[in-house]
Structures are given as structure tokens and as C-alpha cells.
Amino acid sequence: MYKIYITEDDTKISSLISENLIKWGYITEITHDFHEIIKEISAFSPDLILMDINLPVFDGFYWCSEIRKISSVPVIFISSRDSSMDIVMAMNMGGDDFIQKPFSMEVLIAKIKAILRRTYSYTDTSLNIQERNGIILNLNERCLYYGKEKIDLTANEFRIISVLFENAGKVVKREKIIKELWQQEDFVDDNTLTVNINRLRKKLISSGINDFIETKKGEGYIIK
């Protein structure tokens, strides 16, 4: 069952689209907070996004460009704007198709089916990211995003932060992280983990992320 995220500020239209998609067997989610679209997308992990252009806070072009920084999940623009410039802009920002309002629900469903079939028949481009407190971990690219900044990670830094994201809100024991890093903890001493954690923290701090990884003395580490 494919998941579709709907970003539309007209509640009547978004509800109508959602109801019809559900009838066709899709799982849907409608934007709740137009300040936190990337956060909501990260949590929902959709297979396709329907995006209006005229939105509160930032327009659909902006949000599509932000999505393209972290994923190639297909985006279909739906808008009452119909100038050739709008269509070109939508495609330049990373959109996969453009549907003008008012539209036929049958046409929308057909386009959704075509794009899903075309996209996922050849490759898995689904959103494979995790988000915590505005920090996004991209599992495909093995890096972090914070605001507009991309934070590259070493292999060990990626493994450490992945374990912490998977267990967000819980203390992860040092022994567990060591096992995840090197599979057999006999191959590394405790100080090696400390060095890697400190390097990761410095990298986060240099990007403006402070106190993200908290030490629980005698226990391990936690991100809240």
C-alpha cells in the first residue's frame, strides 16, 4: 500500500483528495502544520507527495526544493496557477508532474498510478530518513541535514548516530554501540568509542547543534 502526503491549504480540497485516494487503497496524510512540512514528511515517509503552490509560510516551490535536498520521492504539483512559467518552475524545482485546478479525480488517480508504477518498478526512491528536533538523518546518503546545511559523516559517525536515532528517547549503552560499530566488542577498547563520540559532537557543534547527544554517566548516550 503506497503512502501519499497531501500539502494543500484548502481543507475541502485536501479532504476530497484524501477520501478518494483512500477508496483506491492508498494511505494518506494531510499537512497539519505548514511550518513543519519537512518534519511531517520525515515522520510519514510517503511514496508520493501532492503539492499545492500557493501555501501559507512558504510556497510549494520552496518546499519541493527542500524535499529534493533529502529525497527523490516523486512530487506532483496541483495548482490553479496555469502559466507556462509556473509549470516550468515546478519542473525546475524537482516536480514530476503538474495538474491544474479544477481537475478530474480520475485524471489525478491515473497520474498517481503512472508515476508510482514508473518510479517503483525500477528503483526504490522512497523517503528513507529520520528526524529528531529538526535534525534529519538521511539513511540513503549517510549524512545529516540541519536547516540548509548538510553534515557529512564518517562511516563510524553514521553508525553511531543511526543507533541513537533508532533508540531516540532511550539510553543506549556503550556496549551496544560498540557491538553495532565493530560487531565484536573485543576488537575495540572503550576509549575508541569516546574518541568517535567526541568527534561527532564537535562536528554537530560546528553546525550549530549543541547538546544533541547527552551522556548518561555510567550508562551510555541518549538523544531526546
Mean pLDDT, residues 92-120 taken together = 89
pLDDT confidence of residue 82: 73
pTM of the predicted model as reported, rounded to 2 decimal places: 0.64
Residues 6+ apart with CB under 8 A from 203: 151, 153, 157
Encode pLDDT of 172-223 as tens digits.
998 888 887 765 444 556 777 888 899 999 999 999 999 999 999 888 999 9
pLDDT confidence of residue 189: 63
pLDDT confidence of residue 62: 94
Q: Which residue has the cell 503538474?
A: 98
pLDDT confidence of residue 186: 47
In this structure, the number of other CB atoms found within 10 A of the CB of residue 23 comes to 10
pLDDT confidence of residue 91: 86
pLDDT confidence of residue 90: 87
Which of 97-101, 126-130, 134-138, 144-148 is predicted least confidently? 126-130
pLDDT confidence of residue 183: 59
Q: Judge whether residue 125 has pLDDT over 70.
A: no
Domains and CATH numbers, the chain: 3-120 (3.40.50.2300), 129-222 (1.10.10.10)
Percent of the chain with pLDDT over 70: 93
Mean pLDDT, residues 124-138 taken together = 75
Mean pLDDT, residues 128-150 taken together = 83
